[in-house]
Chains A and B, each alone.
Chain A
Amino acid sequence: EDKVVQSPLSLVVHEGDTVTLNCSYEVTNFRSLLWYKQEKKAPTFLFMLTSSGIEKKSGRLSSILDKKELFSILNITATQTGDSAIYLCADGGSNYKLTFGKGTLLTVNP
Chain B
Amino acid sequence: KAGVTQTPRYLIKTRGQQVTLSCSPISGHRSVSWYQQTPGQGLQFLFEYFSETQRNKGNFPGRFSGRQFSNSRSEMNVSTLELGDSALYLCASSLQGNLINSPLHFGNGTRLTVT
Contacts and interface: CB of A to CB of B under 8 A. Distances in A.
Contacts of B108: 40-42
Given A92-B100, A95-B55, A42 B109 contact: yes
Interface of A, secondary structure class, is strand
B56 A45 contact: no
A103 B42 CA distance: 7
A100 B99 contact: no
Interface residues of B, number: 27
B104 interface: yes
Interface string A13-50: 00000000000000000011010100011111100101
Given A41-B108, A92-B100, A100 B56 contact: no
A42 B90 CA distance: 8
A42 B107 contact: yes
A109 B91 CA distance: 31
Given A32-B99, A103-B42, A96 B105 contact: no
Nearest to B40: A102
Given A41-B109, A50-B100, A100 B58 contact: no
A54 interface: no
Interface stretch (B13-21, B43-51, B61-69, B70-78): B43-51
Contacts of A31: 99-100
B42 A98 contact: no
A96 B100 contact: no
13 contacts: A31-B100, A40-B108, A42-B3, A42-B108, A48-B99, A48-B103, A96-B31, A96-B55, A96-B98, A96-B99, A98-B99, A98-B104, A100-B35
Interface of B: 3-4, 31, 33, 35, 42-45, 48, 50, 55-56, 58, 88, 90, 97-100, 103-109
